[in-house]
Chain A
Amino acid sequence: MARIKLKDIRHAYTANPASDADYALKRVDHVFEDGGAYALLGPSGCGKTTLLNIISGLLRPSEGAILFDSQDVTDLATEERNIAQVFQFPVVYDTMTVYDNLAFPLRNRGVPEDEVARRVREVIAMLGLEGQARRRARGLTSDEKQKISLGRGLVRADVNAILFDEPLTVIDPHLKWQLRTQLKELHHRFGHTMVYVTHDQTEALTFADTVVVMYEGEVVQFGTPEELFERPSHTFVGYFIGSPGMNLLPARVEGRTAHLGSQTIELPGAPGALGAKRLELGIRPEFVRLGREGMPVSIRKVEDIGRKKIVHVELEGENIAAVIDEDLEVPAEPRVSFDPAHLSLYADSWRVEMEARP
């Protein structure tokens, strides 16, 4: 087990990257603490898998260094890094039995056969593959094959980290929950450092203690699920986390006052010098109050999602979503106000802190 430090990692798939746009990973400088459960979250093509493959050594970063504890492993081959990785699509060794498939990573490392048997049996029991242990892997369903791939990742006790690259994509939804819960349990039991790549926010938020949100080759936020929700540090996080995502409204700011078209909003504090950046106010739909006070809006659409309602309104030509309790009546002349404690200000998409002055 190890603490993984990424030092100024950049990666380009082309030979001579000229501009930032050529980099699949623009700059990553973070530490994955020993025994942590991390999720790399982001849309397809944001660099999640690139980052994962750099950690496991399948890719060598164009620039920067990777440290496991204090050892620099940048130039070490995958085999020497003692990492387990599970891929998106099942990889099984067709001609081997299920048992031999799971034993393969251990036997390659010269683990004694009685130890192999003990570990493999444990993993087989955990994955519920008891009936298939002696079967050839070739004839299995893709669910079962992916379980074997997972199993091969989990069978080694002494790995530095276990990396998961969207491992549950091919698994059916019911089994998905079950396997994810098992992974969580394993994490609690053995305390491996686990990094889990996904584009599904529910998966990320339920699995991880710390979520790393990536967007266009950059880490835009590194924080707990709560932090991502309460204080998104980039408009992308606001938009990507939560359902519906954060409302973002173009605004002008003067001192402690934000102008939204003809409306003005008191900010909780005054931001520093903002220069000529593009400013947006961010407010989560959960913190938009709909009632008889505030700024006048017109209702566009109401969606009933069970215990809550999502109300889409128009304010000064901008669309805003508000989440309200189901039994709350929408007034005839609706107005909205924003909870000041949950207002965020973004300059060129990045969050700006607003100091509360006395």
Chain B
Amino acid sequence: MTKTWNNKAWFMVLPVLLLVAFNAVIPLMTVVNYSVQETFGNNLFFFEGVRWYEEVLASSRFHAALGRQFLFTFIILAIEIPLGVAVALAMPRSGPWVSVCLVFMALPLLVPWNVVGAMWNIFALPDIGLLGRSINALGIDYNFTQQPLSAWFTVVLMDVWHWTSLVVLLAYAGLRSIPDAYYQAAKIDGASRLAVFRYIQLPKMSRVLTIAVLLRFIDSFMIYTEPFVLTGGGPGNATTFLSIDLVKAALGEFNLGIAAAMSIIYFLMTLLVCWVFYTAMTNYYDGER
């Protein structure tokens, strides 16, 4: 009696479909298109199948960039997450200083990526930069434009300066949501400061910390502008992360096929990690209900 199937409903989702098509699907498909063809300029293309993928996956250059990428992401997560939690714990729980702290914390987040890179470039220069000169004055030979270790140190320090605040703000929000009664009960139960952290603060922060790890993972895994401005991927290839390598291949060497295959692999890796995180998170919190 009632019509349960109405094809007009499809028109309702059409705007979203169009939007997604233009900003995600079509660009992605052009990349897929490039990744399976060889180009000789003048818009001459030949189908090559999965050759570029095989080449990328077998190339030691890609392996090295990927290795550097994972190492970088691991280092900054290992520093920023504990540091962010520590700073959040040290921040006042109430009073006029809360807003002051929050504003100071938020400042680095408001600086554009390329400005951060340029700032740190000048800041760390061994001859004129405050940081570079100070380190050298301590008797440590430091020159981030020539020594790989110094370059890594500077890139990591820059990222920690730029993004630890994000972890702090998330962790602080998590801490603030803990009712006073929990701390009072812990006092009554005779819990040590460590036990309060282990059994109250950390479990209550776990949700926001997962999000912090996820965000910092994605951002650092795709980092481009800051190291590009700071070191340009050098010295040598020491700080050439995946995205920098990708741009070199695509625009520097104009290897469109290789670059497109790299892009797709890169994209799938990010997607995979996000999916793993998402599944782990939803499973974990479903257990709570």
Seen from chain A, the residues whose Cβ lies within 8 Å of a Cβ on chain B are: 53, 56-58, 77-79, 83-85, 87-89, 91, 93-96, 104-105, 108-109, 138-139, 149, 152-153
Contacts and interface: CB of A to CB of B under 8 A. Distances in A.
B191 A58 contact: no
Contacts of B204: 94
Nearest to A152: B189
8 contacts: A78-B184, A83-B188, A85-B188, A87-B185, A93-B200, A94-B204, A96-B199, A109-B190
Q: Across chains A and B, which 6 residue pairs bring their CB atoms closest together, nearest first? A: A108-B190, A91-B185, A105-B189, A78-B187, A93-B199, A87-B181
Contacts of B179: 89, 91
Given A95-B199, A95-B203, A96-B199, A89 B190 contact: no
Nearest to A108: B190
Given A89-B179, A139-B287, A79 B199 contact: no
B238 to A, nearest CB: 42
B192 interface: yes
Contacts of A58: 184, 187
Interface string B266-289: 000000000000000000000111
Interface residues of B, number: 19
B39 to A, nearest CB: 56
Contact of B184 (A85, A93, A105, A153): A85
Contacts of A94: 203-204
> Could you say which of B187, B188, B191, B199 has the most chain A C-beta atoms within 10 Å of its C-beta?
B188
Contacts of B184: 53, 58, 78, 85, 87, 91
Contacts of B191: 104, 108
**Dominant secondary structure of chain B at its interface with chain A:** helix
**Dominant secondary structure of chain A at its interface with chain B:** mixed
Interface string B2-18: 00000000000000000
Contacts of B203: 93-95
A109 B190 CA distance: 7
Contacts of A53: 184
Interface of B: 179, 181-182, 184-185, 187-192, 195, 199-200, 203-204, 287-289
Nearest to A104: B189
Contacts of B181: 87-89, 91
Nearest to B192: A108
A138 B203 CA distance: 10
A79 B183 CA distance: 12
Contacts of A108: 189-192, 195
Contacts of A149: 185
Contact of A56 (B188, B192, B195, B287): B188
A105 B190 CA distance: 6
A155 to B, nearest CB: 10
Given A93-B200, A149-B185, A139 B289 contact: yes
A92 to B, nearest CB: 9
A56 B190 CA distance: 12
B287 to A, nearest CB: 7
A84 B199 contact: no
Contacts of A89: 179, 181
Contacts of A104: 189, 191, 199
B190 A139 contact: no
A138 B288 contact: yes
Contacts of A91: 179, 181-182, 184-185
Contacts of B289: 139
Contact of B288 (A78, A85, A139, A152): A139
A105 B188 contact: yes
Nearest to B202: A95
B20 to A, nearest CB: 37
Contacts of A95: 199, 203
